A and B are shown apart, each in its own frame.
Chain A
Amino acid sequence: MRFRAKIVDLACLNHFSRVINTIAKLAKTCTLRLTVSKLYFILSDKVANGGVSMWCELCQGNFFDEFQMEGVAAEHNEIYLELVPDNLSRALRTAQSAKAVKIKLTNKHCPCLRVAVELPSLSSSSRIVTHDIPVGIIPRRLWNDFREPSVPDFDVSIYLPVLKTMKSIVERMKNLSNSIVIEANLSGEMNLKIETDLVSITTHFKDLGNPAWASEDGCQSSAQNRDLESMAEARIDIKKLQQLLAGQQVNPTKALCNIVSKRIVHFILLHEDVSLQYYIPALA
């Protein structure tokens, strides 16, 4: 098992840091899956973290200047690591003005991701900061736990409003309530609602647009025969939603959510070379 990678371009490095910061905000520990062409950050739904799951996918070619990996076996050319994304985020914080960052899987006393940051230096000798981040190697028999969740058979799929506006609204609502109802229809309307003993608040968004899902599979069947006006709704933990909105630094070019009535809300944030999917289950 071997893995080494290098980022030289500063813009790529900053972009990569932003993605890692986002992951660090959303998950305490996560799984890093490495393949020849892609990196995946995966949080699978455990009851312990409120049933939330995450799937973040990056094309290595858009970030790394060098990327070499060898999996456990030729026919399973992948590596699965368990890591604390905050450690990686902190390691990259020293790299804001770095000339180069090398990431390597090592095994000195325990398996580690070694992040070597080469900082600009005025003298001829270079300055290198090295962080060893402990990781766990996930054995092959457990890989099946980390499959990409399928796009749920949603009732409504809708583009999200400007995330900054949505964040500010959800932050205020979070002061007042523990749960929030998200509802949307196929006419581009979405409402955010809270209701408590003290206050009820509804924010209405309109003209958001509904993405057209190609009918390559049967997943949009529920949405197809749906009344355009009727709302699909789910009540979710407001903290989880707020974490997503406050934590994301991906600045997505496209953001949308799929609602499965009373079951789950599936958020997709897309930036040219990054896709972040976030699943928040509905509360009973």
Chain B
Amino acid sequence: MPLSAQPASSAEPYVLAASLDNARHLSSLLRAVHFQDHATCFATANGLRVTVEDAKCIQANAFIQAEIFQEYTVQEESVTFRINLSVLLDCLTIFGTSSLPGTSTALRMCYRGYGYPLMLLLEEGGVVTVCKINTQEPDELLDFDFCSTKVVNKIILQSEGLREAFAELDMTSEVLQITMSPDKPYFRLSTFGNAGSAHLDYPRDSDLMEAFHCNQTQTNRYKISLLKPSTKALALSCKVSIRTDAQGFLSLQYMIRNEDGQICFVEYYCCPDEDITEAEL
């Protein structure tokens, strides 16, 4: 059996080794950023970050902190590789997506280093699956240079508030316009579709509003097609932090609580739509 063929843990040649009692904790987070086939994995001592990008305009990051794993070791300062995310998800959910209560898929993940495949050992109910997923040359990732000191406006909402709004978004509109302001309308989502414009306002004293720190009135537009994938993360999350910087770059941070009550984060960065003119505001 391949499991017993593994060398003893002290002599492991792996630059990255991690194990997880319940592979669903990983697969559900990865599904929240699965809008492109390929992802770049970046592992440090703090944990694993999985990044997916599209059209050089949107970037999604799933963070799985080292504490989520039962065992987590990184031999180098950082380990980076690119992988086919669809394949990785198929492997992680090989025993099914809806595991019965009381059963879970245990996972051990290891990577020898550049040029080697990512190895997954999955076990459920005595059945063992070994996957070797070929890794690829990592992509150069976008640097949104979005740091907390440059944030102009920030709102933290309970996700249910935004879920409703996103579920009813007018998809015939090309853009979603977000207005954040210290004065009325405080926080407004607008669409401009075939059937007319729609505006959705959140009062700042709404029960859904956990925090409201807006310093300056800002109106930016974002392509709906780019934001749409983030609804996968929104669906899983309990809270969302919406931030913009001076250039109008948008950061959506989703706080996701897994079945064991552990907290993970998925973050989406999105460029503003350039075509906006002063007159349209």
A residues in contact (CB < 8 Å) with B: 161, 164-165, 168-169, 172-173, 175-176, 197-207
Contacts and interface: CB of A to CB of B under 8 A. Distances in A.
Contacts of A164: 96
Given A165-B125, A168-B96, A204 B130 contact: yes
30 contacts: A165-B96, A165-B124, A165-B125, A165-B127, A168-B94, A169-B129, A172-B90, A172-B93, A173-B94, A175-B86, A198-B87, A199-B84, A199-B87, A199-B131, A199-B134, A200-B117, A200-B131, A201-B94, A201-B130, A201-B131, A202-B129, A203-B94, A203-B128, A203-B129, A204-B2, A204-B127, A204-B130, A205-B127, A206-B126, A207-B126
Interface residues of B, number: 23
Contacts of B117: 199-200
B214 interface: no
B91 interface: yes
Contact of B134 (A172, A198, A202, A205): A198
A164 B125 CA distance: 12
Contact of B91 (A165, A168, A172, A204): A172
A198 B133 contact: yes
Nearest to B86: A175
Interface in B151-175: none
B1 interface: yes
A198 B95 CA distance: 20
Contacts, number: 64
B94 A172 contact: yes
Which secondary structure characterizes the binding site on chain A? Answer: mixed
B132 interface: yes
B95 A169 contact: yes
Contacts of B130: 201-204
A87 to B, nearest CB: 32
Contacts of A197: 134
A176 B94 contact: no
B115 to A, nearest CB: 15
Given A169-B95, A172-B91, A204-B129, 10 more contacts: A165-B124, A168-B94, A172-B94, A176-B90, A197-B134, A198-B84, A198-B134, A201-B130, A203-B130, A204-B127
A175 B129 CA distance: 16
B128 A175 contact: no
A176 B90 CA distance: 8
